[in-house]
Amino acid sequence: MDMQEKTRLVLELRESTDESVRNTNAKVPTGRKWNAQTEVDQAVSRLKHQEVMGRVQAGRAGLGWGAMPRFWSKANRKQRKEMVVAEVTRMEEDRYKIKAVSQGRQGSWTTWEGIINRNISWTDVWKIPQARLSFLIRSTYDTLPCPRNLHQWFGSEESCALCNAPNASLQHILSGCKIALSQGRYRWCHDQVLRKLAEDSKQPPSAEDSTIFVSEGGVRRSTRSRETARLFSPNQEWNMRVDLDRQLRFPTEITTTSLRPDIVVWSTKARSVHLIELTVPLEEGIEAAFERKKAKYSELAVECREAGWKTTSYPVEVGCRGFLGLSTIRLLREAGVTRGKLRRATKDLAEEAEKGSFWLWLRRKDRCCGKNT
């Protein structure tokens, strides 16, 4: 990015080890709307202010969630350069976001809460089929030709081809059509994501996972964060049931209930059970889905605790467009998914949700479409 390169050049000139270079006050040429020197000054000022403010947390993620921030006074020369470049980029992104907020429907993504950004590399852009990439971009900005948009653009009366709902929105097509629900389309898309989630969570860490090898004369690094972020304690004979292919039956040794969480993981030896419930809503409804599922299984969690089981409930969400909720990342981390595998797991979950929604979109007018067609 040209902006980042010019920011690095300003820092190189200012912090050069050659005094004559520092004293020249050389100006880096930029355009009329953006000045590199001014941006660097503002970035440094913001970084110093952030250190005064300390660590803050937004959303429902508790204090301590995420990586520890770097502070300006404790950073070396190389780290400061990285911090300034990142802050300049963030400032520019904030300007674009402010502009997007004023765009109403196309900027509705700015109101999404409880999600993480989805990073798509240039390699991914070239690999993703053009039609699917177009769907991802246009669904994010709500510019797909759904009945509501067609009505707004051309003034014609349009309706859902399945249930005849007037001026149906994208949300209706991807998650709200009664006919699509009765035909099992939404369930099929949900199960595709659930299958991938179960694959990523089904291997509890063993005692060998915590073995650390240190070279002769080396220093053992702290692994406290890795050890505490465990959903499954090792050597406890964990069992898993997933509500796929056949109806899940809740383990009777724990309690009797008609509820069917998507995934139940339990250990009789540890007297511990984890209830995992997946939802694939539109990104606008991720926060509401979390609260709804949390309330739905709160009574079951109480019953399990009264029966003498240590119980944890995990409502997790993966958005229809492929944006993951913070709750999903938290589950994977606490399940012992390592950092390298976490990137792969989040990418797979995002792609499964996106592919399912793309499938729904392509077949939005096919009344006889089943999950196998």
For residue 6, tell me if it sits in a domain: yes
Give dist(CA 331, CA 310) in Å, integer.
17
Same domain, 191 and 154: no
Question: CB-based contacts of 287: which residues, under 8 Å, 6+ apart?
Answer: 60, 113, 114
Distance CA(273)–CA(207), nearest Å, equals 20
268 with 354, same domain: the answer is yes
- Write down the pLDDT at residue 369: 64
Given 133, 150, 185, the domain boundary residue is 185
Is residue 130 one of the residues assigned to a domain? yes
Q: Are 303 and 275 in contact (CB under 8 A)?
A: no
Residue 273's closest CA among 225, 236, 227, 245? Answer: 236
Question: d(Cα 75, Cα 84) in Å, to the nearest integer?
Answer: 11
85 with 128, same domain: the answer is no
Amino acid in the structure at residue 140 = T
Q: Cα 172 vs. chain centroid, distance in angstroms?
A: 22
Verify that 34 and 141 share a domain, yes or no: no
Its domain, for residue 134, covers 122-185
Same domain, 21 and 139: no
Residues 166 and 298 in one domain: no
Q: Both 126 and 273 in a single domain?
A: no
Q: What is the pLDDT of residue 230?
A: 61
38 and 141 share a domain? no
Q: Is residue 106 part of a domain?
A: no
97, 113, 130 - which closes a domain:
97
301 in a structural domain? yes
Same domain membership, residue 201 and residue 136: no
DSSP result, 93-126: HHHHHHHHHTTGGGGGGGG--SB-PPP--HHHHH
Instruction: Judge contact between 203 and 366, C-beta under 8 A.
Output: no
Regarding whether 176 and 88 lie in a shared domain, the answer is no
Whether residue 306 lies inside any domain: the answer is: yes
For residue 354, what is the domain's CATH number?
3.40.91
239 C-beta neighbours (distance < 10 Å), count: 12
Residue (of 36, 29, 30, 33) closest to 7 by Cα position: 36
Give the chain's residues under pLDDT 70. 1, 55-67, 202-230, 369-373
pLDDT for res 202: 66
Number of domains present in the structure of the chain:
3
Q: Are residues 278 and 325 in contact, defined by beta-carbon separation less than 8 angstroms? A: no
* Dist. CA 351–CA 189, nearest whole Å: 11
pTM across the whole model? 0.74
Q: Is residue 352 part of a domain?
A: yes
Q: Are residues 316 and 177 in the same domain?
A: no
Angstrom distance (rounded) from CA 305 to CA 115: 30
